[in-house]
Structure 1
C-alpha cells in the first residue's frame, strides 16, 4: 500500500506505474454506462421483441444478479493473479458479449447476452481495490469519492445518449456505442494500467480462510449493509424510473433520459463532498450525513406522492438529493468494508459489491412488478424511502459499536 505522497510516481500511459485516476474513472464508468444507457429504450425493446415490459425489465434485474455473482469471483481472482490480467480479460469479453446483445433476434438470446455483459462489473470492483492498494483507509475513501465523482458523469449522460440514439436510429445503436466505448477503454487499460496487486500471492485456500473472518465481522456487515441499502434505493429507481417517466409522466425518450440522469447530478455533488472532506470528517460521520440526506429526500417524495400530486420535476428533483446522499455514503462505506482486512481488499470489494448488487437486483425486479398505470410512482417512492432508512440504521449501528469499543 502506498502513502498519499507516492501518487506522484503515477505516469499517464505508462504501464510500469500505477494507473492514472482518469483510467480508473473510465474503467468504472464503462460498467455504469452499460447499466444505464439502454434504460430509455426498454419500451421500444419490448415492442421489438414482442415481450411484456416486465420481461424486458429482466434486462436490469438479471444483469444485476449476474453482476453480484461476478463480483464474488473477481475479487479473490484478482487478489491471487493481479488486477491487470483480470481487468483486461473482462473488458475484451464485454465487447464480444455486447455485440451478441446487439445482434440478438429474440428476447431470450438478448437476455442471455445481457447477463454475460455483467463481466464488465470487474471494472467497478477492481477500480476500488486498486485505490485501496495505493492508499491508506482514510485517503482511499477520498480517492474513491473522486473516482466515483467522475464515474457519475456516465449515468448522467448515458440515458440521454441512449435516448437520442434510439430516437435517431433504433435501440441497437445503443449497444453499438457500448461496443466502441468498451474497445477504447480496453486499449487505454492496456497502455496505462500498471499492476498494483503484486506481492500478495495468496492462494485460494488462504483467501477462503479469510472469507469467514469477513463474514463474522460486525463492522464489515455494518458497512456493507449501509452501502447495500443506500444503493438499493437507487437500484429500485433504476428498475422503475423508465416506466414512471414514460407511462406515469408521459415523457419522450430524450426527456426520459434527462430525468433518469438527475440522480447522477446529485451523486457528483455528493462525491465531491466525500472526496474533499472524508479525511477530516471521518468515514462514519460522512456516511451518516449521506444516509440522512437520502432518507429526508425520499421521505418528502413519499409524502408528496401519497398526499399530493407529484410531477416529474419534483419526483426526479428529489431523486437528485438521493444522489447527493449516495455520493457521500458509498465511498466511505466501501472504504470501511475494505479496511476490515486490507490484504483482502479485492475479496472484500467483490463480496461487499455482490451483496450490494444482489440486493439491488431484487429491489429493481420488485419495483418493476409493483408499478402499474393505476398505482403511479407511489410504490417506488415507498421502496426508496424504506431502503434509505435501513442504510441509516446500519451506519448508526456501526457508530454505536465503535463508541462501545472505544474506537475512533
Structure 2
C-alpha cells in the first residue's frame, strides 16, 4: 500500500499538543525570582518546582502509556488536557508555595496523559517513515520553547506573574476544543482486537533487548538537554553577566539549532535512514561537547561557549528524534507503553540534572560542561552497544 503523507494540519495539531510541556516548563522561568518573594519562600524551593514537574510528568507517563494502548489515544488526550486546564487555573490563584507545588505536580501529571499519546499517533500516520514524522512534529513543537520565555516576560511586563498560568489554561482550553473535533482515534488492527493488559506492554517493551540501546540513547540525550535547561540561566546571566534581553536571544539561538536539526533530519532520513542520521548526530555531539568543556576549562569567554552549545543542542535533537523513531517502529501495538518508557527515563534523568549540578557547583560553567560531555559519552557507549547487536 502506497504511503500517503499526513496533512500539515494534522502535524501542527499533534505538535501543538506536545508543546504544552515546553510551554509549562519555560514560560514561567523569568518569573521565578518574583514568585519566591510573592509566595514568601526561598529561590531554592521555587526552583524545585521544575524538578517536581519533571518527576510528576515521568510518573504520569508510566501510568498513562499502557492506558493509551488499552483505552485509546483520543480519550486519554482529552482527559489530560482537561486536567491540565484545571491545574493551570488553580496555579493562577495560589497564594502559598505548598499549594503551588501541589498543583504544579498535578499539572505535569495530567500533561503526561495528553502528550504520551502523540508519538503513537505519529507512528500510525507515518508507518515506516516514523522518523520523518517525529522530525516534523519536533520541529514545529520547538517554536514553544523558542518563544516561551519571551511570552512569560511579556505577561509580567503587562500584568501579574499569575497570569502566565492563566495563559497556559487558555492554551489548554483551545487544544481541548481542537482535539475534541479533530484528533483521530487509532483503532486496533484486525486480528489484534483484544486490548493489552496493563503490565503486558511493559513486558513486551523490556523483553525486546534490541530496543534497549536506543532507549538509553534517548535517556542520555534528554539528560544532557535538561542539564542545559537547568543551568542555562546561571551560565548566561549569573556567570557571564548577560542581560535578560541577550539571554532571550541566546536561548532562542539554541532552540533554533534544534529546529534546524529536525528540519535537516526530515529532509535526509528517508534516504539515509534513522541509524545513520543518529550516528552523524553523535559525531557532531562529541566534537561540540569536547569543545564546550575545553573552552570553559580554559575560561575563554561567552561567545566560545555559545558557539559550542548551539551545535551540541542540534546534535542532541538529531539523536533523540531518531532514537525515539527506532524504538517506536519496533512496538506497533505498544507504542503508548514504549513512549511511557522513553518519557519516564527521559524526564526522570532530567530531574537528576539539578541535584548533580548543585553537587558539582563551583561558581563556573565547567561542571555544566562536564555533565554535557558525560551525557554525550554515555550516548557513544549506547551506540556501540547498538552496533554490537547488529543495528
Counterpart CA distance in 1 for 2:317 and 2:2 is 24
Q: Give the alignment partner of residue 384 of structure 1, picking from 372, 377, 380.
A: 372
Q: Give the alignment partner of residue 265 of structure 1, picking from 232, 256, 264.
A: 256
Aligned to 2:61: 71
Counterpart CA distance in 1 for 2:187 and 2:176 is 19
Aligned to 2:184: 194
Counterpart CA distance in 2 for 1:370 and 1:116 is 30
Aligned to 2:382: 394
Is 1:44 aligned to 2:41, yes or no?
no
Counterpart CA distance in 1 for 2:49 and 2:286 is 28
Counterpart CA distance in 1 for 2:87 and 2:253 is 29
Is 1:280 aligned to 2:268, yes or no?
no
Secondary structure of 1:51 counterpart: coil
Is 1:145 aligned to 2:145, yes or no?
no
Q: TM-score, normalised by structure 1?
A: 0.89
Per-residue deviation, residues 86-120 of structure 1 (Å, max 9, x unmatched)? 00110011011011122111111111111111121
* Structure 1 residue 368: Cα displacement: 4.7
Is 1:219 aligned to 2:210, yes or no?
yes
Is 1:116 aligned to 2:106, yes or no?
yes
Q: Give the alignment partner of residue 305 of structure 2, picking from 299, 315, 324.
A: 315
* Structure 1 residue 382: Cα displacement: 1.1
Is 1:242 aligned to 2:241, yes or no?
no
* Structure 1 residue 26: Cα displacement: 0.6
* Structure 1 residue 234: Cα displacement: 0.9
* 1:129-144 equivalence runs, <5 A: 129-137=120-128, 139-144=129-134
Count of residues in correspondence between the two structures: 388
Aligned to 1:160: 150
Aligned to 1:336: 326
* Structure 1 residue 309: Cα displacement: 3.6
Q: Give the alignment partner of residue 208 of structure 1, picking from 199, 203, 220.
A: 199
Aligned to 2:3: 4
Q: Is the 8 A contact 1:239 1:365 kept in 2?
A: no
Q: Give the alignment partner of residue 172 of structure 1, picking from 146, 162, 165.
A: 162
Residue ranges of structure 1 left out of the alignment (5+ in a row): 13-19, 404-408
Aligned to 2:25: 35
Considering only aligned residues, what root-mean-square deviation do their CA atoms show, in Å? 2.1
Counterpart CA distance in 2 for 1:11 and 1:361 is 33
Secondary structure of 1:40 counterpart: helix
The worse-fitting range, judged by mean Cα deviation, of 80-89 and 54-63 is 54-63
Pick closer, same or farther for the CA change 1:246–1:169 going to 2, 3 Å.
farther
Pick closer, same or farther for the CA change 1:170–1:256 going to 2, 3 Å.
farther
* Structure 1 residue 44: Cα displacement: 2.3
Q: TM-score, normalised by structure 2?
A: 0.92
Q: Is the 8 A contact 1:78 1:197 kept in 2?
A: no
Residue ranges of structure 2 left out of the alignment (5+ in a row): none
Secondary structure of 1:103 counterpart: coil
Secondary structure of 1:66 counterpart: helix
